[in-house]
Structure 1
Amino acid sequence: MTLPEKLLHFIWRYRLYRTVRLSTVSKKNLSIRDTGYQNHHAGPDFLAARIRIGDTEWAGSVEIHLRASEWNTHRHHRDKAYNNVILHVVYEDDKIICREDGTFPETLVLKPLIPKYVLSNYRDLMSGMYWIPCEKLVHRIPGFHRSQWLSRLLIERFEYRVSAIYELLSEQQGNWEATCYLWAARSFGFKVNAEPFEQLARSLPLTILAKYRHSQQNIEALFFGQAGLLEQPAFADTYPRKLQQAYNYLRRLHALTPLDASSWKFLRTRPGNFPSIRIAQFAALYIRTVHLFAALTDAENTNQLKAIFRELPVNRYWAGHYRFDVPSSRHGFQLGMQSIDNLLINMASGILFAYGKYVGKEMYIYRAVTLLEGLKTEKNSVLMRFSTLGIRAEHAAESQALLQMKSFYCDRKRCLECGIGLQLIKNNE
């Protein structure tokens, strides 16, 4: 396996090489006081390093290559930005190079300094064809290190959601209620119907809903009508007929264009998750709470947040139907406890964290984190697989962190950037 340059960055950053009795290619004594910080922009790889070479202590940049000749290949010898490189770190020294100003940087060769187990551990992670690269090794990681890494991943997951929420906020010209409305709609889609749910919300602005907040029939007619579920010529049941009649009037009044009903996915979806049921619940939420963002940010604890989604005024028609004109046995039609928890995890916590960061109030950030720490973990195949490997999330904060790790680290084999990968590569057992 060819070593990637990022592995050398990793080895340099975490000092995974013999650090005593170091010397440069020119036989000068070398002492690494500070490796510097990694530069992710143009220019040398590490900045603000402090290195003692011979009797002189230097402060400047460090450039890292697999082979010394790559200095010229990358045209650093013609770039003034590399004149402040105080040390050239390479795996193999195959060429004498010089800076743009004609001087020669000191060179450190890593190849004889890197312990064999470091490279072996890295190869084991990269070459395995497992569900996660460290599947056979992760049990070696002490719980403390794993917990520390999951705490960092939770904040990273929040930041990932914050970015998406801020995009919506910018699009909605700083209107938090409108942003929350779109974010909530996506969440009510529960992944399978997230996209059409967002399109439904976009087609039905809050300004229109606010006009009919005291009319349950009109609110339901607007949601089902804009969803494209009232487009058939005639209904047998009275309830959808009345909704259709109300929607036809409102459609003309507000010049509305419905979605194509084919956008919604019913196939391979449990009846309780049918989009018709979720739309009925979403409509009921906005019948009760037009100002959802205000309700979320005013809630002071988890019980108050859960109360927003409990016992919604869902039309009782849905107690005996999953679709219009298709009777079924009697069933629950309210949001279940697990669905409410999922909405709090995927929707409410993100809004609270994003708003807290936006206005600079730690109170909302703390509420978002505390909310997840007080909720049970989700139930999905990813978390079940982690559990079989001995990694069990104690609460939703940890389960969210594990999902972040799987999607953004394990699936992309970013072991060099992973806290667990770091411990495994350093492990000399």
Structure 2
Amino acid sequence: MTLPEDILHFVWRYRLYSTRHVLTVSGKTVTVLDAGMYNRDAGPDFLGARIRIGDTEWAGNVEIHVRASDWDVHRHQFDRAYNNVILHVVYEYDRAIKREDGIPPETLELGPLVPKNILGRYRELMAGRHWIPCERRIHAVPSFQLSQWLSRLVIERLERRVSAVFDLLTQQKGDWEETCYIWMARSFGFKVNAQAFEQLARSLPRGVVAKHKDHPAAVEALFFGQAGMLERVNFSDDYPRMLQQEYGYLRKLHALTPVDATVWKFMRIRPANFPTMRIAQFAALCQYAVHLFSAIIDNKEVAVLKAWFDKLPVHPYWQRHYRFDTPAPAHSNQLGAQAIDVLLINAITGILFAYGKYIGKEAYLYRAIALLEHLKAEDNAVIRRFSALGVHAEQAADSQALLQMKAYYCDRKKCLDCGVGLQLIKTMRDGKADSSLF
């Protein structure tokens, strides 16, 4: 495996090299007072470093390469932005180089100072074909460090939702109620039909639904009609025929255009999660929670939040059907306890956190986090797999953090940016490994 610069950035950032008898290639002693701020943008790799070279203390930037000659390969010799480089750190010194001003920077050859087992552990993580790179090591990370990392990941996951909510808010011209309506609809899609539900909500403005909130049949007709599910010529059952007739009138009244019915996915989904069931439940929610955003902001009790999704006024037709004109054994037409928790986790915490960020009020941020700490951990394939590895999620905050880690660190092999990877590799500092990690 070719050594990437990223691992050298990591080694420099956390000083995972021998600090005894550190000399430049010109023979001057090197004492790192401040490694500098890691720069992920254009320019030198570390900014504002403070380093004593010989008897002189320097303040400036540090550039890192695998080989010294990479300086010329990257054409830094023609770039004035690199004239403030006070130290060129390389894994292998293969030739002398110069800055744009003609002055050769002091160079530190890091290769002999880096314990080989640090690089070995990194290569092992990168080369592994396990479910996650550290599958055989993660159990050895101290619980305190793991807990600290998961706490950071919860915030990171909420921040990602903030970005999505803000994009939606911009599209809705600052209307929080409309934004919340579309965001909640998307959450009712439960990942598989999230995009389809968003299309449905965008095609049916909240204001149109509000005008008919006192007429359940009209609200149901609007949602099923806009979902493209009433386009059939002939229905056998009275209920869909009634919806079809009602929608025909409402479609003309509000100049509506339905979405393409083919966007809905039924394959490999349990009947209780069929989009028809979720549309019926969402329509029922919208009948009495027209101002959903205000309700979320005004209510602090978890029991109250859960109650909105419990005992929804879903039409009795959906107690004997999962699809139109297809009878089924008697079943509940209500959201299950787990589904309600998922809606609270994905929809309500996202709105609370985003609104808190938007108005600069931390109370809403804390409410979102407290809600995740109150709810039970999600039960899905990813969380079960982590549990089998000895990493257990007790609350929704834990499961959300683990989902974030899997999607944005493990799957992308960003071990050098991950708190778990950091702990596993840092144990190898100065060649001293914790035997429990093997």
Q: TM-score, normalised by structure 2?
A: 0.97
Structure 1: distance between partners of 2:388 and 2:297: 37
Residues 301, 367 of structure 1: 8 Å contact kept: no
What SS does the corresponding residue of 2:391 show, helix, strand or coil?
coil
Deviation at 1:82, TM superposition (A): 0.7
Distance 2:349 2:26 in 1: 57
**1:39·1:46 contact (CA, 8 Å) conserved in 2?**
yes
Once residues 260 and 30 of structure 1 are traced to their aligned partners in structure 2, the CA distance between those partners, rounded to angstroms, is 67
Is 1:235 aligned to residue 257 of structure 2?
Answer: no
**Counterpart residue number, 1:185:** 185
Q: State the Cα distance separating 1:203 from its structure 2 match.
A: 0.6
Matched, 1:412 2:412: yes
Task: Give the Å deviation of 1:211.
Answer: 1.3
Equivalence for 2:221: 221
Task: State how far apart, in whole Å, the 2-side matches of 1:104 and 1:288 are.
Answer: 73
State the partner residue of 2:430: none
Q: Does the residue aligned with 2:121 lie in a helix, a strand or coil? A: helix
1:190-228 CA-partner distances (Å, limit 9, x unpaired): 111111111110110112112111111111110011111
Q: Distance between the aligned counterparts of 1:260 and 1:61, measured in 2?
A: 56
Unmatched 5+ residue regions in structure 1? Answer: none
**Separation in 1 of the partners of 2:266 and 2:102?**
69
Q: Distance in 2 between matches of 1:236 and 1:92?
A: 77
Residue 79 of structure 1 aligns with an amino acid whose one-letter code is D
Q: Which amino acid aligns with 2:358?
A: Y
Q: Secondary structure at the match of 1:64?
A: strand
* 2:376 corresponds to: 376
In structure 1, distance between residues paired with 2:251 and 2:172: 23
Q: What are the superposed Cα offsets for residues 336-358 of structure 1, whole Å, 9 maximum, x if unpaired?
A: 11000000011111110011111
What's the CA shift string for 1:27-53, capped at 9, x where partnerless? 111100000011111111100100001
- Partner secondary structure for residue 159 of structure 1: helix
The C-alpha deviation readout for 1:335-381, integer Å capped at 9, x for no partner, is 11100000001111111001111111111100100000111111111
The answer to which structure, 1 or 2, has the higher relative contact order (CA under 8 A, 6+ apart) is: 2
Taking the aligned partners of 2:136 and 2:43, their CA distance within structure 1 comes to 38
1:397 counterpart residue number = 397
The count of corresponding residues between Structure 1 and Structure 2 is: 429
- Tell me, what secondary structure is at the counterpart of 1:58? strand
d(CA) in 1 for partners of 2:133, 2:268: 31
Mapping for residues 157-168 of structure 1, pairs under 5 Å: 157-168=157-168
Aligned ranges 1:4-83 → 2 under 5 Å? 4-83=4-83
Aligned residue type for 2:327: P
**2:288 maps to 1:293:** no
Does structure 1 residue 156 correspond to structure 2 residue 156? yes
Query: What are the superposed Cα offsets for residues 124-161 of structure 1, whole Å, 9 maximum, x if unpaired?
Result: 11111100000011111010010011011111111111
User: Amino acid of the residue matched to residue 353 of structure 1?
Assistant: F
Q: Which moved more, 1:237-246 or 1:395-404?
A: 237-246
- Partners of 1:244 and 1:318 lie apart in 2 by 16
Distance 1:123 1:325 in 2: 58
TM-score by structure 1 length?
A: 0.99
SS in 2 for 1:104: coil
Mapping for residues 1-400 of structure 1, pairs under 5 Å: 1-400=1-400
Q: 1:237-294, CA deviations, whole angstroms, 9 ceiling, x for partnerless residues?
A: 2221211111000111112111222221112211111111100000000001001111
Q: Kindly report structure 1 stretches of 4+ aligned residues shifted beyond 3 Å.
A: none
Secondary structure in 2 matching 1:44: coil
Structure 1 Cα separation of the partners of residues 147 and 77 of structure 2: 45
Q: What SS does the aligned partner of 2:375 have?
A: coil
**1:309-348 superposed Cα distances (whole Å, 9 cap, x missing partner):** 1111111111111112222221111111100000001111
Give the residue type in structure 2 aligned to 1:95: R
Cα deviations by residue, 1:9-33 (Å, 9 ceiling, x for unpaired): 0000000001122111111111000
Q: 3-state DSSP class of the match of 2:159?
A: helix
Does the CA-based 8 Å contact 1:288-1:313 persist in structure 2? no
Partners of 1:244 and 1:207 lie apart in 2 by 21
Aligned equivalents of 2:125 and 2:366: distance in 1?
A: 36
Tell me how far apart the structure 2 counterparts of residues 42 and 137 of structure 1 sit (CA, whole Å): 34
Question: Offset of 1:234 from its aligned partner?
Answer: 2.2
Structure 1 position 77, deviation (Å): 1.0
Q: CA deviation at 1:301?
A: 2.1
Between the aligned partners of 2:301 and 2:74, the Cα distance in structure 1 is 56
CA distance in 2, matches of 1:68, 1:301: 60
Q: What amino acid sits opposite 2:226 in the alignment? A: Q
SS across alignment from 1:293 = helix
CA distance in structure 1 between the partners assigned to 2:313 and 2:423 by the alignment: 52
| Counterparts of 1:298 and 1:112, CA distance in 2 | 61
| SS of residue paired to 2:44 | coil
Return 78-87 or 263-272, whichever deviates more: 263-272
Q: CA deviation at 1:230?
A: 1.1
- 1:110 and 1:140 mapped to 2: Cα distance? 29
Alignment partners' CA distance in 1, 2:264 and 2:55 = 72
- CA distance in 2 between partners of 1:235 and 1:80 (Å): 74
